């Protein structure tokens, strides 16, 4: 092999390597269906956990911090912060809530179940932190029943989608 042929082969190998590396490093979008439950809530904080199925199956946890709930307001609350994590078989993906809304869908008249649309925007998404983005979009259902004259929320579930790009 001549020196010119050798340099051509080396240059071609470098070009192929750089092309493969850039496609691996390019951001990928992952879509999952998520289900779970709310395990803690106040008028300004909701904490959720559950499972994801789709391109990143695993267990997830979210702490959604928001302005005080106002059932007669639009939006019902504005998401002000919080954290998100998804543990897959091979890695941990984290992020933080950078915005979004909570909107009541059904107020639950006469102590029936309440439903809310929780639409959170995620930033700093990636493996153990990063610069990616995402969207956490679920319907939250508070299950309620009247006990001794008081309306009691006894459980809550979430169902929706998770989209992560990193």
Burial pattern 125-135, b for ≥16 Cβ within 10 A else e, equals: bbeeebebbbb
pLDDT band at 41 (very low <50, low <70, confident <90, very high): very high
Residue 21 reports pLDDT greater than 60: no
Phi, psi of 116 (to 5 degrees): -135, 145
Pick from 119, 100, 122: which is nearest to 158 by CA? Answer: 119
Rounded to 5 degrees, φ, ψ at 9 are -65, -45
Looking at per-residue pLDDT, the higher value among 8 and 129 belongs to 129
Is the pTM higher than 0.85? The answer reads no
**What percentage of the chain exceeds 70 in pLDDT?**
85
Pairwise pLDDT comparison (14 vs 139), residue with the higher score: 139
Where are the domains positioned within the chain?
A: 27-165
* Mean pLDDT value of segment 118-142: 96
- In this structure, are residues 112 and 145 in contact, taking their beta carbons and an 8 Å threshold? no
């Amino acid at each position: 092999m001549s020196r010119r042929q050798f340099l051509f082969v080396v240059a071609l190998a470098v070009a192929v390597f750089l092309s493969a590396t850039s496609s691996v490093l390019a951001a990928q979008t992952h879509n999952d269906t998520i289900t779970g439950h709310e395990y803690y809530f106040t008028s300004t904080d909701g904490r959720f956990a559950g499972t994801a199925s789709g391109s990143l199956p695993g267990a997830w946890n979210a702490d959604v911090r928001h302005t005080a709930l106002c059932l007669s307001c639009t939006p019902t609350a504005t998401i002000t912060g919080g954290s998100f994590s998804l543990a897959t078989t091979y890695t941990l993906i984290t992020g933080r809530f950078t915005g979004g809304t909570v909107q009541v869908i059904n107020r639950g008249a006469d102590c029936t179940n309440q439903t809310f649309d929780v639409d959170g925007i995620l930033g700093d998404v990636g493996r153990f932190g990063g610069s990616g983005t995402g969207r956490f979009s679920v319907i939250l259902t508070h299950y309620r029943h009247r006990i001794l004259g008081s309306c009691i929320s006894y459980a809550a579930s979430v169902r929706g989608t998770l989209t992560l790009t990193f």
